[in-house]
Chain A
């Protein structure tokens, strides 16, 4: 190898080394792969009747729902109605949530450019639009069915077995927070009616939703049933369970 080729190769490797070094130190969460591009090829716009359709796709933080309006055989409007993509930390996600739906409607195409840095969200939106127009049942309902089944087979918490504690709280709505698994604190809103806990709402969370779904679904119910945060944790979501219990305890401190 000549001197020039050797030097050039060395420069290239030095560049790769610096890239790896810097990205190791400055990235918190490294995702090795990108999910495959949403397959929108099967949906033909010509066969879709005018109307408004709802569909879902799997994004970064969980299921993402869109509402697609079709008029005269063309997509006229796409709106993301529900999503759990974390917007606070990643600006591109906000951009993707705005621009990808706008581009789909503008270009009347199910395949538009992916926003760099928010490829998961971009693909989820395209996937959701394809899902909406495919005429299939929205995936969300499938998921709910699946959840129902697991619940029947092996409930995370046996709600029937919980006995109510005889504690009286002052009526009102209280908020509390605690540090969970995610970057931001977990925040809850606890409503007390007729001296008893009537509702536990999770108002703010950056927990990874797929992992903690059980904890979020069952723990508030269990707390309401027991009329106290003194409940069992959900296995597999220990940190989140404890955070939720702590947040509710924290909220109720003002109610006693």
Chain B
């Protein structure tokens, strides 16, 4: 079985296995069952086990994430959430008893409804505010998404925990499950394990080491560079191109975690600090001006698998790197480049950087230094929105890569980070030129 299969099916299989065991335990208590009852209980149970699984995904289990990648996991999270909503709807429709006044409802119905309402809130916030998986293709939905406050929606998304608790109680109160010990033990085990992992993760975040801002400045009119040093503890060992969730404490900025790729790598220059480059866009990044040197933040991570260890250890002589960065998508590529420089590698490296305007360009001196140290390093900058003297004009495409000599389709490793359209364009280039899957490393920061 390949990695793609597991990244698509690991989590659904978790849900299906726990669903199968719960359904079996439930049926053991019965002699006979009718069709509508079977469909209704099955849809309800499967929806519940899927809720547990997506909550588990939401707790960002690092030991799984490092194999598949966070955007892939969140895509599965979104797809499974849609499926579980359909299942929950089937369950509700089959159990529909007409609209009774709440006080006339049994405890089972009441807890069920608390679960359903919480689930609707969770679904709404997930689909329309947090995830790009579903609204991605519609400009209208995208505008609607941008009009919502992400922080509030993120907070509301935690009603998932309320939904789980309510549905657990709902099943606990069902008369025909009351005496089914096997079912209760299984259900409690799954629920406690999932919620346990979730709270363990939350506590780990709260207890994670503190960092203070040692440097913050604007490198271009819309780009912030932040450097952190640990206050308590040390920097978790990270690989070039990894990312962290940054949460500021006590500063004039909301406390929700936001994911950003490191632009630094573990080098002499960044021996006890870590650097991020953040583009101003949206609420949170817009408030970065309120951050001062000395402010405290926690860093949750590292996450990501931009630079797999096997690739990092590959032969410098024969394996070229092509780093494709669109705008701020330079960040993880810069981290990979700095890591190569630190290794004193003489690898053939092509950094292809697509920018909109001349004012977005910076770091040229550092690149000059890299060239001196590694003659096989080549920088190609191309502007898309204005013509700049001495540089190319247009978008990164197959023809451009061939012209500048970055068409290392047979043996090179491609690292791509940038906005959605750029990722789509590069996927097409790789498909047209039959670049093997293992040689492509995408960082979709849009998730």
Given contacts A26-B24, A95-B176, contact A8 B79 (CB under 8 A): yes
Contact B32 A4 (CB under 8 A): no
Of the listed stretches B34-42, B283-291, B356-364, B405-413, chain A binds: B34-42
Shortest C-beta distance, B280 to chain A (Å), equals 31
Q: Which of B37, B78, B174 contacts A119 (CB 8 A)?
A: B37
Residue of chain A at shortest CB distance from B78: A4
Contact A117 B30 (CB under 8 A): yes
Residues of A within 8 A of B8 (CB): 7
Q: Which of B16, B27, B39 contacts A26 (CB 8 A)?
A: B27
Q: Is A210 in contact with chain B by the CB < 8 A criterion?
A: no
Contact with B along A20-62 (1 / 0, CB 8 A): 0111011111111110000000000000000000000000000
Contact A19 B46 (CB under 8 A): yes
Q: Is B83 in contact with chain A by the CB < 8 A criterion?
A: yes
Q: Which of B84-131 contact A (CB under 8 A)?
A: 86-87, 95, 97, 106
Contact A15 B82 (CB under 8 A): no
Residues of B within 8 A of A30 (CB): 32-33
Shortest C-beta distance, B361 to chain A (Å), equals 36
A174 to B86, CA, bound (A): 60
Interface size class of B (residues with CB under 8 A): 35 or more
- CB within 8 Å: A-B pair count: 108
Shortest C-beta distance, B359 to chain A (Å), equals 37
Q: Is B165 in contact with chain A by the CB < 8 A criterion?
A: no
Q: Is A193 in contact with chain B by the CB < 8 A criterion?
A: no
Q: Is B382 in contact with chain A by the CB < 8 A criterion?
A: no
Shortest C-beta distance, A54 to chain B (Å), equals 28
Q: Which of B16, B31, B38, B79 contacts A29 (CB 8 A)?
A: B31
A33 to B39, CA, bound (A): 12
Shortest C-beta distance, B168 to chain A (Å), equals 18
Contact A92 B24 (CB under 8 A): no
Residue of chain B at shortest CB distance from A32: B35
Shortest C-beta distance, A96 to chain B (Å), equals 9
Contact with B along A144-178 (1 / 0, CB 8 A): 00000000000000000000000000000000000
Residues of B within 8 A of A18 (CB): 16, 19-20, 23, 46
Contact B37 A116 (CB under 8 A): yes
Shortest C-beta distance, B88 to chain A (Å), equals 12
Contact A23 B176 (CB under 8 A): no
Q: Is A204 in contact with chain B by the CB < 8 A criterion?
A: no
Of the listed stretches A69-77, A83-91, A126-134, A219-227, chain B binds: A83-91
Given contacts A8-B79, A91-B29, contact A14 B16 (CB under 8 A): yes
Contact A15 B175 (CB under 8 A): no
Residue of chain A at shortest CB distance from B21: A22
Residues of A within 8 A of B46 (CB): 15, 18-19
Residues of A within 8 A of B444 (CB): none
Residues of A within 8 A of B39 (CB): 19
Residue of chain A at shortest CB distance from B94: A116
Residue of chain A at shortest CB distance from B38: A23
Residues of B within 8 A of A32 (CB): 34-35
Contact with B along A109-129 (1 / 0, CB 8 A): 000010111111000000000
Q: Is B75 in contact with chain A by the CB < 8 A criterion?
A: yes
Q: Which of A14, A23, A86 contacts B33 (CB 8 A)?
A: A23
Q: Is B12 in contact with chain A by the CB < 8 A criterion?
A: yes
Contact B12 A19 (CB under 8 A): no
A20 to B1, CA, bound (A): 25
Q: Is B179 in contact with chain A by the CB < 8 A criterion?
A: yes
A104 to B340, CA, bound (A): 78
Shortest C-beta distance, A11 to chain B (Å), equals 5
Q: Is B324 in contact with chain A by the CB < 8 A criterion?
A: no
Contact B19 A29 (CB under 8 A): no
Residues of B within 8 A of A119 (CB): 34, 37
Q: Is A12 in contact with chain B by the CB < 8 A criterion?
A: yes
Contact A117 B35 (CB under 8 A): no
Q: Which of A12, A22, A33 contacts B86 (CB 8 A)?
A: A12
Given contacts A90-B31, A116-B37, contact A7 B175 (CB under 8 A): no
Residue of chain B at shortest CB distance from A92: B176
A113 to B32, CA, bound (A): 20
Residues of A within 8 A of B33 (CB): 23, 27, 30-31, 117
Contact A117 B27 (CB under 8 A): no
A4 to B95, CA, bound (A): 29
Q: Which of B82, B86, B106, B175 contacts A92 (CB 8 A)?
A: B175
What are 8 of the A-B contact pairs (CB < 8 Å)? A12-B86, A18-B16, A21-B20, A22-B20, A26-B27, A27-B33, A31-B32, A32-B34
Q: 18 new A-B pairs (CB below 8 Å) besides A7-B8, A119-B34?
A: A4-B133, A8-B82, A11-B79, A14-B16, A15-B46, A15-B83, A19-B42, A22-B27, A23-B23, A23-B27, A26-B24, A27-B27, A31-B35, A33-B34, A34-B34, A91-B29, A92-B175, A116-B37
B interface residue numbers (CB < 8 A to A):
8, 12, 16, 19-20, 23-24, 27-42, 46, 75-76, 78-80, 82-83, 86-87, 95, 97, 106, 133-134, 174-176, 178-179
The 6 closest A-B pairs by CB, nearest first: A26-B27, A29-B32, A89-B31, A19-B42, A92-B176, A95-B175
